[in-house]
Structure 1
Amino acid sequence: MSSTDQTLAATGLTKHFGSREAVSDLTFEVRAGRAFGLLGPNGTGKTTTVRLLTGLLTPTRGSVTLFGQTLSRSNADALRARIGVQTDTRLYENLSVRDNLRTWGQLYGLAPRVIERRIGEVLEVLGLSDRVGSLAGELSKGMRQKLSVGRAVLHEPDLLFLDEPTAGLDPEAAIDLIGYVREMINTLRTTVVICTHQLHGLETLCDDVGILNRGRLAVTGEVRTLLRRRWPEHRYLLEVGGDPASAREVITSAVGRAVEFSTVEGLLSFSLNKQEPISSAVAALVHSHIQVRAVIPRRPTIQDLYFATINDGSAA
């Protein structure tokens, strides 16, 4: 991989607060135009990691590379100008929604005409156009969350950090926000790091994930590769007419080995390896006059990977 493909890299990143080790030996990279999900329970080190990656905290050991440059005190401000960060909902309470964004646009160095255009675009996407004149202190928790995200994306950053961005949002607003972030990735080649323990919607957003457990990366890599490695077999749900026990016997006979079955919501659940096509099992069922009502592939998800990794504490 060329350095131009790599937006962010952490190498051996470690941070101590006194005798407590908040994060330990984090090593991962995020390529340009991809979304990286930094996942983990509350208190496991996600926010500390973001502060290290943006230069707000100095690591005890290790280094951070941003846009091909090693992050240091001398270049931190210049590099941060290319970054958007949403980590909290602290706003200028006595300023309007418009003036909050206008102030941040000025801090980012945007031209006045660009600021006004971007304010309109961001508020439209986030569903805050009708609250443009409201004071930030009058907003609900969900609206404050939206405004803090708007502040982070106002200058169309090359690298965007989102910390629990859908917290406090209703499902429709969360879907809209994820869609907007995906559009930034597709059209602007924005690189996104999303820190969360709320996993809904990540399937359509994250290309890569890292799962933090007790301050350490239990697993990191491309989502598809991690899922395939953890669950190499193909899993299915099967609905049949008649006795499920007969279906189990037929499938076992068709594949020539013992197959482990379970029941999920009244359906048979089982796995086949790559050399055992589901079509052979279905053909055997039909030949045995067993009605096949539905065959549903069970594709593992990021949520499955997350809970499996956290529960057993090992890498996938």
Structure 2
Amino acid sequence: MLEAARLMRRFGEKVAVDDVSFVVPDGTLTGFVGGNGAGKTTTMRMIMGVLGIHGGEVRWNGHTVTAADRRRFGYMPEERGLYPKQPVLDQLIYLARLRGMSTRAAFEGAMELLDRFELGGRRKDKLESLSLGNQQRVQIAAALISDPVALVLDEPFSGLDPVAVDTMAALLKEHAAQGIPILFSSHQLDLVERLCDRLIILADGRVVAQGSAEELTRSGTPRYRLVVDHEPVWLREFAGVRVIEIDGTTAIFELLDETTDELLIQALAEGSIRELAPVRSSVSDIYREAVA
């Protein structure tokens, strides 16, 4: 289990990460989401020891993380950190050897990953000759090649085409199924919703919400869909309701109190009700509410 406990980081007078705590349980995919400057990359760098910690600590399996622990983590930084003028296969083998793998195991592992990403035919090419999307695939392979015990991935899906996204998603699910805790950041909220067991939402350097999508949805403001036989413009003036959207005869709204009787009476007074039903919030909805 990977844990951040009250992490803090300053840059001069600015507090970039402020009392951030969360757990990435074994065998879970945990999505780390937030706007630009929210503190995601800084937090990941502290977890990996790339940046110093000004407060709090990182824990691995209940103890303060050590350099030896971190050497067993797979890490993908926001900026690509590979060698542009080296052949793809050579540098994957080199990086795997640095992690203690034999040359044969490193070769076999590198070829398996390159084949999964449809790059086996480009294994002798220099990294700089690949497209940015294919360079991203190689960067991901570098994070996965040494059989890591935990994965910390900063925007791993950025620049990937849909086929590569599916391949990457399958790889992450395979690692999670082996009990590996996985933390990854992404701006693609629909992808986070599809993949993740848990979410951590950051804003202004602080955790503003965390939990499963279901837990976060239950803790949010109830949201409903109303379908009538005319445009329900009256709903905008109705007390206890915040209208999200009115599209023709359909309205999506939040109910700010628990009483629906008066709303139903008003709706019936305006005409027929075709539907009044709760709406499941998306991760995007949860995110917008958490950072508002």
Q: Structure 2-normalised TM-score?
A: 0.83
The counterpart of 1:17, out of the listed 4, 11, 27, is 11
What residue in structure 1 maps to residue 209 of structure 2?
219
Which residue matches 2:40? 46
* 1:164/1:198 contact within 8 Å kept: no
- Rounded Cα–Cα distance in structure 1 between residues aligned with 2:15 and 2:165: 33
- Residue 52 (structure 2) pairs with residue 58 (structure 1): yes
The alpha carbon displacement at 1:110 in A equals 1.2
SS of structure 1 residue aligned to 2:190: coil
Could you tell me how far apart the structure 1 residues matched to 2:246 and 2:83 are? 50
- Hey, what does 1:118 align to over in structure 2? 109
Write the distance in 2 (CA, Å) between the matches of 1:215 and 1:258. 32
CA gap 1:41/1:96 in 2 versus in 1, 3 angstroms: same
Secondary structure class of the residue paired with 2:189: coil
**Percent of paired sites with the same residue:** 31
1:167 aligns with 2:158: yes
SS at 1:269's partner residue?
strand
Q: Do structure 1's residue 33 and structure 2's residue 22 form an aligned pair?
A: no
Q: Distance in 2 between matches of 1:258 and 1:308?
A: 17
Distance verdict in 2 for CA 1:262–1:202, change over 3 Å: closer
Q: CA deviation at 1:268?
A: 3.8
Structure 1 counterpart of 2:63? 69
Match for 1:269 among 252, 264, 272?
Answer: 252
Identify the match of residue 131 of structure 1 among 122, 128, 135: 122
Question: Is the 8 Å Cα contact of residues 223 and 281 (structure 2) preserved in structure 1?
Answer: no
Q: Is the 8 A contact 2:74 2:148 kept in 1?
A: yes
Q: 1:8 aligns with which of 2, 5, 8?
A: 2
Q: CA 1:290–1:217 in structure 2 vs 1: closer, same or farther (change >3 Å)?
A: closer
Does structure 2 retain, via aligned residues, the 8 Å contact 1:262–1:268? yes
Q: Is residue 2:224 matched to residue 1:235? A: yes
Shift of 1:172: 3.2
Pick closer, same or farther for the CA change 1:59–1:130 going to 2, 3 Å.
Answer: same
Name the CA distance, whole Å, in 2 between partners of 1:230 and 1:258: 15
| Preserved CA contact (<8 Å) 1:45 1:214 | yes
- Cα deviations by residue, 1:185-209 (Å, 9 ceiling, x for unpaired): 12x2221111222323111221222
Shift of 1:296: 8.0
8 Å CA contact retained: 2:87, 2:123: yes
TM-score, L = length of structure 1 = 0.77
What SS is found at the alignment partner of 1:169? coil
Letter of the 1:70 counterpart: T
Task: Quote the offset at 1:263 in angstroms.
Answer: 5.2
List gaps (5 residues or longer) in structure 1: 1-6, 249-256
Q: Which amino acid is the alignment partner of residue 133 of structure 1?
A: K
Helix, strand or coil at the partner of 2:36: coil
CA contact (8 A) 1:163 1:196 kept: yes
Q: Residues 20 and 263 (structure 1 numbering): CA distance in 2 closer, same or farther, change over 3 Å?
A: closer
- Root mean square deviation of aligned Cα: 3.2
Superposition deviation, residue 262 in structure 1:
6.7
* CA shift in 2, pair 1:237/1:107, >3 Å: farther
After superposing the two structures, state which structure 1 stretch, 265-274 or 188-197, moved more.
Answer: 265-274
**SS at 1:200's partner residue?**
helix
